[in-house]
Amino acid sequence: MSSSSQVTESWISSFCGLLGHEYFAEVSEDFIEDDFNLTGLQSQVPMYKEALEMILDVEPDDDDDEEDEEEEDEEDDEILGDERPTGYRRASDRRHLRIASDLSVIESSAELLYGLIHQRYITSRPGIQQMAEKYELQHFGTCPRVNCVSCKVLPVGLNDTPGHETVKLFCPSCLDVYTPPNSRFQTVDGAFFGTTFGSLFFMTFTELDVGGTRPSNSAADALIAIQAQSAEAKSRNPSTPANVTSINGVAPHNLAPGLGAGNIYEPRIYGFRVSERARSGPRMKWLRMRPADVTELDETRRYWDEHDGDEADRPDEDDMNMVDVAGEGKGVQVDRRKKVTARRRRANGSGNGGGSPMDTNGVGGPG
Amino acid sequence: MDDFNSETDSDYTSYWRDWFISSRGNEYFCEIDEEYLTDRFNLTGLNTEVQYYQYALDLVTDVFDFDCDDDMREQIEKSARHLYGLVHARYIVTTRGLLKMLEKFKKSDFGKCPRVMCDSQPLLPMGQSDIANTSPVKLYCARCEDLYNPKSSRHAVIDGAYFGTSFHNILFQVYPAMLPPKSQRRYEPRVFGFKMHAAAALARWQGEQREGMKERLRKVGIETGFENEDEEVESEEEDDDMEIGDGFEQGQPGAAVAIHDR
């Protein structure tokens, strides 16, 4: 009997198989069984113990020999019929009653508990890995924004405590959040995914190409391409230096690739752009902007470039370096940094005779 | 369509157009007036764009009585839909057309903005090109001024040229009261409560651009159209939080994870 072919589905996999629960990863039992991972959840979930048992498919009450007992039950029924010992029956009745009255409460508690464990699980190593597989398979869908060209998204919460917001989708290409397209996800609590997961995911998998394949200019994009060109021509720094490999901890090509020149909608009427000064003119372009040269976002350096005076407080070179550059030796880096600074000076028009500490500090000639 | 055929003819019912706009997938279209369709001036140039132009026009205006086989009928039907779409793009920028589309806009017939911070702002259909068969219809959100793909695949196949590149902008020029207040609220990616440095730095840079724009507008005395600005400015000022992801805590996420999964 125990070797019957129909293996009953675990609570976890049946929960994840429900309609609208497509975003959930299956939390491993090892993770749930480790009490450390459940710290503090007891106070958040009513009927915590029962809910936990339900998630782990542990039969309520103490019996390890549950299955044997049930087999006996059946046999008893057949053989003894009504003449079963009354005490025995009462115990099972009691259990049935309890289950009937509390089942729905326990079920909802179990869902809440599972969600909260899930929030923690997907920030753990195996959990985030599991979500990465789901991400690759596009289980979470794509960004609805046209200029994000179907970039893959992640489920996130806007709050870590349940009962506030439903699950949202975070697009790494435009760094914005969207409502899932299907209404069946509007019953899923955002807290079950949490606020941390979305960002942690892309910090963990830095090698992912978040923007996906951006199409090369097709006929429809011709106008956009021209816009992009003119926008770039206008800007001071034409583009990010090719040797920058990291800005503020992110690879430049992964820093909001769906934003910036060419990815901003330009309203037009009969081909003519609508002026910013028009009442109905564009006001939200900033939301989709991105500097053509991402080193502009290196705030630490910008700050110190503007505050040349306070030399005493100035952090040393390594602490200031929020831009990673590809190069063989330190000398190359320093050289490049010098150039960046020099260019800034010129751009800012605050040239102070080249007497900057930057120029004399640690100048190692190239090579 | 059978339903309509079983009824008697009436001058006031437009069978084909009624059927067309009420059929599934055509929810974005409004009904074009009979007078507009019958005025040849409004159709200038379309005869070269549409196959079987005359038959198609007859079908759209319900005077079609050409006896033909099913294949031909199918072809003409297709042309009629194309013709209707092309006329639609012209019609919706007329006074009457704008009004009809405005009503649909108010009822959120075109859907709502998927962006969370836009609070279900109703959308408008638009095309990225005025030339037929270049790109499918997109949806424009007036709050975030961005374009989105329709949710449903049955809408994603409609030609964008049936709405055109100008319509939604004209609508807000004609009915500026319909412009939603712009919002400065935005999503801040965070890890364990700390803002992501890269995203936060970009957001601050964007904020600078925004303030620059506001300054430009203020100089020429034009309203910026942002909602509750003062609150926003305040909340921005108190943001001196530490940030994560700036390269200083290499291996940190892994370390945090290690505690959890033992």
Domain positions in chain A: 125-204, 260-308
- pLDDT tens per residue across span A175-201: 999 999 999 999 999 999 999 999 999
**Among positive and negative, which fits the CA dihedral A6, A10, A11, A17?**
negative
Which residues in chain B are contacts of A259 at CB distance < 8 A? 202
Closest by Cα among B185, B27, B188 to B107: B27
pLDDT score at B109: 95
* A158 with B116: Cβ contact below 8 A: yes
Task: Tell me which architecture the domain covering B15-178 has in CATH.
Answer: Single Sheet (2.20)
The answer to whether residue A259 scores a pLDDT higher than 60 is yes
Measured between CA atoms, the residue of chain B closest to residue A203 is B245
Residues A95 and A61 sit within 8 Å (Cβ to Cβ): yes
What pLDDT band is residue B17 in, cutting at 50, 70 and 90? Answer: very high
* Nearest by Cα to B201 from B231, B243, B252, B233: B243
Residue-level pLDDT at A238: 55
Average pLDDT of span B89-101 = 96
- Give backbone dihedrals phi and psi of A176, rounded to 5 degrees, phi first: -130, 165
Q: What is the mean pLDDT of residues B48-53?
A: 93
SS (H, E, C) B183-201: CCCCCCCEECCEEEHHHHH
Length, in residues, of chain B:
262
Torsion of CA B156, B160, B162, B165, to 10 degrees: 150
* pLDDT for the residue numbered B165: 96
Judge: A144–B247 Cβ closer than 8 Å, yes or no. no
The whole-number average pLDDT for the span A204-230 is 64
User: What does the pLDDT read at residue A301?
Assistant: 81
Mean pLDDT of all residues in chain A?
76
Per-residue pLDDT at A64: 45
Judge: B145–A283 Cβ closer than 8 Å, yes or no: yes
The pLDDT assigned to B82 comes to 96
Give the A:B interface size as CB pairs under 8 Å: 189
Task: Identify whether the C-beta of residue A139 lies closer than 8 Å to the C-beta of residue A22.
Answer: yes
**Confidence band of B256 (pLDDT split at 50, 70, 90):** very low
Identify the weakest region by mean pLDDT among A35-39, A237-241, B160-164: A237-241
**Interchain pair B261, A126: CB under 8 A:** yes
Partners of A284 on chain B (C-beta within 8 Å) are 143-146, 182
**Which chain A residues contact residue B210 at CB under 8 A?**
286
Please check the confidence at residue B83 and state whether its pLDDT lies above 90. yes
Rounded Cα distance, B31 and B14, in Å? 9
* CATH architecture, range A125-204: Single Sheet (2.20)
Q: What is the pLDDT of residue A340?
A: 45
ipTM of the prediction: 0.83
Question: Are B205 and A297 a contacting pair at CB < 8 A?
Answer: yes
- Say yes or no to pLDDT of B211 above 60: yes
Helix, strand, or coil (residue A104)? helix
B247/A249 CB distance under 8 A: yes
Nearest to A199 among B128, B169, B196 (CB): B196
- What is the DSSP track for B129-143? -SSTTSSB-EEEETT
Is the pLDDT at A55 greater than 60, yes or no? yes
Q: In this complex, do B217 and A269 lie within 8 Å of one another by their Cβ atoms?
A: no
pLDDT at B103: 96
Cβ pair B116:A274 closer than 8 A: no
Contact criterion met (CB < 8 Å) for A248 and B191: no
Checking if the pLDDT of B200 tops 60, the result is: yes
Q: How would residue A73 be classed by pLDDT, with cut points 50, 70 and 90? A: very low
Looking at residue B47, its pLDDT comes to 92
- Chain A residue with CA closest to B189: the answer is A199
Query: What is the spatial distance between Cα B94 and Cα B146, in angstroms, rounded to a whole number?
Result: 24
Q: Does B165 sit within 8 Å of A283, measured CB to CB?
A: no
Rounded distance, CA B53 to CA B40, Å? 12
Query: Do the chains contact at B116 and A179, CB–CB below 8 Å?
Result: yes
Choose the mutation target among A41, A254, A274, A283 for the interface with B, i.e. most B CBs under 10 Å.
Answer: A283
Q: A144: which chain B residues are within 8 Å (Cβ-Cβ)?
A: 114, 148-149, 151
Nearest by CB: A144 against B114, B166, B179: B114
Residue that wins the pLDDT comparison between A367 and A241: A241
Q: What is the pLDDT of residue A224?
A: 56
Going across the sheet that includes B146-148, the strands are B123-126, B138-141, B146-148
Domain boundaries, chain B: 15-178, 186-224
In Å, how far is A312's CA from the nearest CA of chain B? 22
- Among A192-206, A225-239, B6-20, B247-261, whose mean pLDDT is lowest? B247-261
Instruction: State the pLDDT at residue A358.
Output: 42
- Averaged pLDDT for residues B92-119: 96
In Å, how far are A146, B160, B162, B166 from B49, measured between CA atoms? 28, 15, 13, 20
- For A280, the closest of B129, B135, B169 (CB atoms) is B169
Per-residue model confidence (pLDDT) at position A211: 79
Higher per-residue pLDDT: B110 or A2 = B110
Q: Do A198 and B189 touch (CB under 8 A)?
A: yes
Q: Give the span between the Cα atoms of A145 and A67, in whole angstroms.
A: 54
Residue B75, pLDDT above cutoff 50: yes
Residues B226-241 pLDDT 10s: 886 545 444 444 445 5
The model's pLDDT over A301-358, given as tens digits with 9 standing for 90+, comes to: 888 877 766 666 666 666 666 677 665 444 444 444 444 444 444 444 443 433 444 4
Average pLDDT of the residues in A39-66: 82
CB–CB of B145 and A219 under 8 A?
A: no
What is the pLDDT at residue B124?
A: 97
Chain A residue numbers with beta carbons less than 8 Å from the beta carbon of B169 are 267-269, 274, 280
CA distance B92 to chain A (A): 13
> Which of B114, B193, B223 lies at the smallest CB-CB distance from A181?
B114
Q: A124 vs chain B: nearest CA distance in angstroms?
A: 5
Query: For position A227, what pLDDT does the model report?
Result: 55
- Please indicate whether, in this complex, the C-beta atoms of A199 and B176 are within 8 angstroms of each other: no
- ∠ CA A131-A135-A140, rounded to 5°: 100
What percentage of chain B exceeds 90 in pLDDT?
Answer: 74
CB contact under 8 A, A248 and B145: no
Return the amino acid letter for A337: R
Query: Which residues in chain B have their CB less than 8 angstroms from residue A249's CB?
Result: 197-198, 245-247
Chain A interface mutation, best of B115, B130, B175, highest count of A Cβ atoms under 10 Å: B115
